[in-house]
Chains A and B, each alone.
Chain A
Amino acid sequence: MSEGRLFDRRGFLGGGCALCGLLAAGCQTTTAAGPARLNPGERPAAASDEASLWSAMERAERDIRTSAHIVRTPEVMEYLTGIMTQLAGPFARDVRLYVVRVPEFNATMAPNGMMQIWTGLLLRCSNEAQLAAVIGHELAHYTQRHAIERLRAFRSGTDIAAFLGLGLAVAVGGLGMLATQLATVGGLMAYTRDQEREADAVGIELAAAAGYDPGQGGALWERLLGEVARDERGDRGRGGFFASHPAIEERMEVIRRDTAGRTGETHAERFRSRLGGLQLALVEEELRQRRYARSEWLFDHLHKDGANPGLMLHALGEVNRLRDAAGDGERAAGFYTAAVAATGAPPEAWRGLGLVERRRGRADAASAAFTRYLALKPTAADAAMIRSYLS
C-alpha cells in the first residue's frame, strides 16, 4: 500500500479530522509545504487573501443558485447530496452540491465549498461508486485548500488579480462562460499534478471508507479516455475535464496501483433507480452534440456495463438514426427493437423505430411502432406530426 508515499509531499496532520484521520495511519510526517488543511466549519481569516477568494466565490454561488442551468429535481438532488454528505463526514455542512446542465465530463470544487458536477459526468457514471470517486476527489481539493495554495504560488499582483477574476469565471464557467474564455482559464486555473494526485488519493480513501469499491474511479477515467479518443472532432471537448485535470493517463496508473485488489460496493442498481427520469435527459443532451462516433462508443460501453439496457439500446438506435450513414437505418431498427424488448426503454424508442421503418419504406412496421408510441406518450412534443404520418 502506497498511501505513505502518496502523501509524503505534505502530511495530513492536525487535530482530530475524521476525513484525514482515516489516512493518517499511512502518512509520513513531513514538512508542510502548503497551507494547513481546513478544519470542519473553518472559514478563512478576515481580510486574508483566502477570504477575498471565498467572497468572490460566494458572489458567484449566489448567481448559480438562481441559474436556469441547474438540475433541481428534488429526489435526484436529495440522493446526490446524500452521497456527498456521507463522503464529506464532518465537512458535510461546509460543502454544497450543484448539478449543472453541461453535456461534458467535469466536476469542480470552489475554495468556498461550492461543488459542481456537470450532467455529462453523471451520464458517464455506471454506478454510485464511480460518482463517489469523483465527489471524493473534489472534496479533497476543498479540505486540502488547493485553490489558495495555487493562488499563493503566483508571484505578481497581476497574476493574482487574473486568478481571482478567472476563479470567479471558472466558478460560473459551466454555466455562462464564453467558450473562448474557458480555454484560457483552463490553463491558469488547473491544479498542479501533485494536487491532483493528492485529491485522487484522498478521494480513493474517502470512497473506500464509505464502503465503495475504490477501483471504480479508475474504471471511469479509463472509459473516458477510450471515449475521447473516438471524438471525431479530434479535440477534447469544451472546457471538459482535461482542461482542468492534466496528465490523466499518468494519474490513472497510480489509481490503478493503489486500488488493486481492493473491493467494495458499486451500488449500480440504486444509482440507476434513484436517477430515474433524469437519465433520458442525460442521453438526449449527449445526442444533441452530434458527435456520433464518440457517443456511440460511450452508449455501447455503458450498455456493456449493464447500465439501463432499454435506455442504452434506445440511445444506440438514436445515434444510428441521426447519423443516417450507409447501414445505419438497419442498425438503428435493430437497436430500437432490442430496446423495446429490454427493461427501461423510453416511449421514444417506439418513435425511433417508426421513423427508421418509415424511412426504409416499411409502412406497416412504421405505423405499428408509431401507434405504440402515441399510446405510451399521447402528449409527446411531436404527437401531431406523428399522427399525421398514420393517416
Chain B
Amino acid sequence: MTRLFAVALLVLLTACNQWTLVNPGPTNIRSSLQLSPTIAFNQRAGALPAQPTETWTLDGPLLNRVWILPGIPEGRPLVVAPSTFADPNARPFPAIKPTMNETEMMELIADTISIDNGQVALTTENLRPTTFSGQPGFRFDFQFAGRNELRYRGSFVGAMIDGKLFGVMLTATSLHHYQSLLPEFERLAASARRLTAAS
C-alpha cells in the first residue's frame, strides 16, 4: 500500500502544486460568497473555470481542506474535474435540483464525495438545522476512509438560497487534525455572507 500511496501522492502533487495565499480577513469567492478566515490558507490557483467550487488548505489537500460552494445553480454538479481517485467514467456527477430537501442535499454532497474518492463508503451523521448567511440551512458530519487508507472526518454547513447551494465543508485526516481545525471552520461558517449584485 505504501508504494501506491506514494504514487497517489505524487500524482496529486504534480497536478495541484499551484497555490496562492488567502490572507486573514474578508475574502470574496467568485463574487457570490464572502468568508472571513482568521488564519491564512492556501488556495488552489488556476482551478478549471468550469469547476464551481474552491479549495483551501493549510497543510495540503490530502491532510486537510476547506471546500467552498459559492452558490451552485440548478442542474449543476458539485464536481466537474474529478480527483485521480475517481472512476474516469463516473460522470456526470449528481446535480442540484431546486426540489431537494436537506436530507437530499446531504445525500448529494455525500455521494459526490464518495464517488470523487473512488466509490468509498461514507457515513453521514447528525444532520440538523442551522443558519448559513442568515438563512435557514443545514449541517452534518461525516467520515470515510480514502482509497489511500487515510481516515477522514468532516463537516458541512450550508443552505439552499434562491435555488443555489452555498456552503463550506471541512475535511481532515484523523480526529486530531479535524478537531484542531474545527474552531476555525466554525468561525469561517459563521462569517459566511452571500454576496448579491448590489452588495
Contact = CB atoms under 8 A, between A and B. Distances in A.
B12 to A, nearest CB: 10
Contacts of B87: 179, 237-239
Given A178-B85, A237-B89, A238-B89, A385 B104 contact: no
A204 B86 CA distance: 35
A381 B149 contact: no
A381 B121 contact: no
Contacts of A183: 88
A381 B140 CA distance: 9
B76 interface: no
B119 A382 contact: no
Nearest to A351: B103
Interface of A: 60, 63, 67-69, 101-104, 168-169, 172, 175-181, 183, 233, 235, 237-239, 281, 285, 288-290, 321-322, 324, 351, 355, 358-359, 381-382, 384-386, 388-389
B111 interface: yes
Contacts of B4: 169, 172, 176-178
Contacts of A169: 4
Contacts of A102: 119
B89 A233 contact: yes
Contacts of B163: none
Interface in B65-95: 84-91, 93-94
Nearest to A284: B121
Given A172-B4, A322-B107, A358-B101, A68 B145 contact: yes
Contact of B125 (A67, A101, A104, A381): A381
Contact of A355 (B90, B103, B126, B149): B103
Nearest to B151: A68
A172 B1 CA distance: 7
For B2, B103, B126, B149, the residue with the greatest tally of chain A CB atoms inside 10 Å of its CB is B103
Contact of A233 (B86, B91, B102): B91
A111 B25 CA distance: 58
Contacts of B2: 63
A324 B119 contact: no
B26 interface: no
B149 A67 contact: yes
B44 to A, nearest CB: 20
Contacts of A178: 4, 7-8, 11, 84-85, 147
18 contacts: A63-B149, A101-B121, A168-B3, A175-B147, A176-B147, A233-B89, A237-B89, A281-B121, A289-B111, A290-B94, A322-B107, A351-B103, A355-B103, A381-B126, A382-B106, A382-B124, A382-B127, A382-B140
Nearest to B77: A290
A238 B151 CA distance: 22
B115 A289 contact: yes
B120 interface: yes
B127 A384 contact: yes
Contacts of A321: 104
8 nearest A-B residue pairs (beta carbon): A68-B145, A238-B87, A63-B1, A384-B128, A382-B127, A235-B89, A385-B127, A290-B94
B138 interface: yes
A324 B97 contact: yes
Contacts of B115: 288-290
B118 interface: yes
B149 A359 contact: no
A126 to B, nearest CB: 23
A172 B8 CA distance: 14
